[in-house]
Amino acid sequence: MTLQRRLIIAVLLAAPLAWMLTIAATYWRAHHEINELYDTDMVRLAGQTIAVAALLPHSDAAQAAPLVIEPKGDLGNAGLDNVALTIWRASGEPLVVDPVAGQFPRGGDRDGFVDSVINGAPWRLYYVHDEKSGISLAVGQRMGERDELILAYVISQIVPWLIGLPILLALLYYSVRRALRPMTQISSGLERRSPDDQTPLPEEDAPGELRALLRAMNGLLRRVGRLIDQERRLTADAAHELRTPLAALRAQWEVLQRADDGDVKRESEERVTRGLERLDRLVSQLLTMARLDSTTRANFGHQVNWRTIIDQAVSDCLWLSNRRDVDIDVEWPDKSQAPLPIAGDTDALAILLRNLLDNAIRYGPCGGRVRVVLTPTRIFVDDQGEGIDADLLPRLGDRFFRAAGNQEAGSGLGVSIAMRIAQNHGLVLRYSKRETQPGHGPDAFGNGMRVTLMRG
């Protein structure tokens, strides 16, 4: 069910319900006010009448026959059948009699209101008794008179509602459709868009309630656009980078097929093997970079164990360190201090450290050393290589960037991968050149490159 249909159904149900509740409240209020008004009039009439009646001669000898009330003249719209009055002597004989009230039961010394049924009709009676003279009085009103007035008042309220309710529902229906028209237009516009269209949705003419949604959607479109651009650049760069090793492999394979000399054949086989290793490493890094590009910074729930991460990274690089005769040293902080405590993905951080160690081993001297130093706030990876020029340091994070003159096989993706993993964990990488003299001072590791991993 659409949002528009839900709103329309809710409005069409809520408006009559509100109307019925209003009518019920109107009836209750009218019933209360009209009863209060008539009861007050009856009390006042009874009090005034008995005060006058007490002054009249009311002994049995003075007035044997009751005085009968007979209205005369123009009575207007008076409803004489609805209101009546009777006065009794102390002896219980009628003193004043209204023809309608002839059936009122005598109240004696009773005071107050009584609801009674007289001649099959409900009446409300008010009795009052004068202690001094002994006379008593009853004022009565037919309940149907009150009910008719209440009903007339409620009908006077219902009729405008009955006339206006269909108009109100039609206006509400039109208003809901008109209010939701921008959402329909946005939906139609998105359906007509091509998959490559990431232009922002217009926010200026949208209602205030939709602007937050449009801003969020435009932000999503920008992020999707950046992701698509990254994928396109990665695909283009990968195609460019794969073209060279594939061409070299093809050439070496052709040489290997034509070679008759054993030395030439062995050399071609070694070159094919190195080319396959480089191609395997490049494809692996491309897959890792593609996976990292599709993720954002996550909220990790568990603290990482750097010892496990270091052991895994060192184990992954042992084949390369053995081939280049490079020693890997790891220096831990005191047992009382935890190295760079963070929550994160152990496997991803192991890839980060592996790439840093891989670069340090590849671009350092054969027979040299690589050192990993862990502190409570930072992790350092040092090598003894020549490093690169200071003006090229800012470009180390660029994909497929390799310093000119570098003869070591590589794809230029290792640093990019490491930086992306660090970013996902709220960390940063800093590259700098070390300038210390071997064998002197507390830090006698020697010149080379230093990579610092720390909080951003």
When pLDDT is averaged across residues 352-359 and rounded to a whole number, the result is 90
Do residue 286 and residue 312 come from a single domain?
A: no
Do residue 421 and residue 274 come from a single domain?
A: no
Do residue 126 and residue 241 come from a single domain?
A: no
Q: What is the reported pLDDT for 198?
A: 77
114 within some domain: yes
How would you list the strands of the sheet with 448-455, edge to edge?
327-331, 369-374, 378-382, 448-455, 427-434
Q: Which of 270, 292, 314 is the last residue of a domain?
A: 292
pLDDT band at 249 (very low <50, low <70, confident <90, very high): confident
178 within some domain: yes
Query: Would you say 454 and 378 are in contact if contact means Cβ atoms under 8 Å apart?
Result: yes
Do residue 354 and residue 442 come from a single domain?
A: yes
65 within some domain: no
Q: What is the CATH number of the domain that holds 384?
A: 3.30.565.10
Q: What is the CATH number of the domain that holds 284?
A: 1.10.287.130
Q: What is the pLDDT of residues 109-139, one digit of tens each?
A: 788 999 888 888 898 999 998 888 888 888 9
Look at residues 237, 272, 225, 234 and name the one whose alpha carbon lies nearest to residue 252: 272
21 within some domain: yes
pLDDT band at 378 (very low <50, low <70, confident <90, very high): very high
Where b means 16+ CB within 10 Å and e means fewer, 219-240 reads eebeeeeeeeeeeeebeebbee
Q: Which of 292, 310, 327 is the last residue of a domain?
A: 292
Span between the terminal Cα atoms of the chain, in Å: 47
Q: What is the reported pLDDT for 319?
A: 86
Do residue 183 and residue 224 come from a single domain?
A: no
pLDDT band at 345 (very low <50, low <70, confident <90, very high): confident
Do residue 18 and residue 97 come from a single domain?
A: yes
Q: Is the pLDDT of residue 404 over 70?
A: no
Q: What is the reported pLDDT for 373?
A: 94
74 within some domain: no
Do residue 224 and residue 137 come from a single domain?
A: no
What total of structural domains would you count in the chain? 3
Do residue 258 and residue 149 come from a single domain?
A: no
Which H or E element spans position 256? helix 208-258
Q: Is the pLDDT of residue 217 over 90?
A: no
Domain that holds residue 124: 1-54+80-192
DSSP 143: H
171 within some domain: yes
pLDDT band at 436 (very low <50, low <70, confident <90, very high): low
Lowest mean pLDDT among 39-43, 51-55, 379-383: 51-55
d(CA 400, CA 351): 18
313 within some domain: yes
Do residue 131 and residue 112 come from a single domain?
A: yes
24 within some domain: yes
Do residue 154 and residue 19 come from a single domain?
A: yes
Q: Does residue 129 or residue 99 have the better pLDDT?
A: 129
Q: What is the reported pLDDT for 130?
A: 86
When pLDDT is averaged across residues 195-219 and rounded to a whole number, the result is 80
Q: What is the reported pLDDT for 191?
A: 82
36: tokens are 């209060």
Q: Residue 230 phi/psi, 5° resolution?
A: -65, -40
Do residue 286 and residue 325 come from a single domain?
A: no
Mean pLDDT of the chain: 79
Strand-strand pairing, 121-129 and 378-382: unpaired
Question: Across-strand partners of 435?
Answer: none
Q: Which of 137, 162, 192 is the last residue of a domain?
A: 192
Do residue 311 and residue 450 come from a single domain?
A: yes
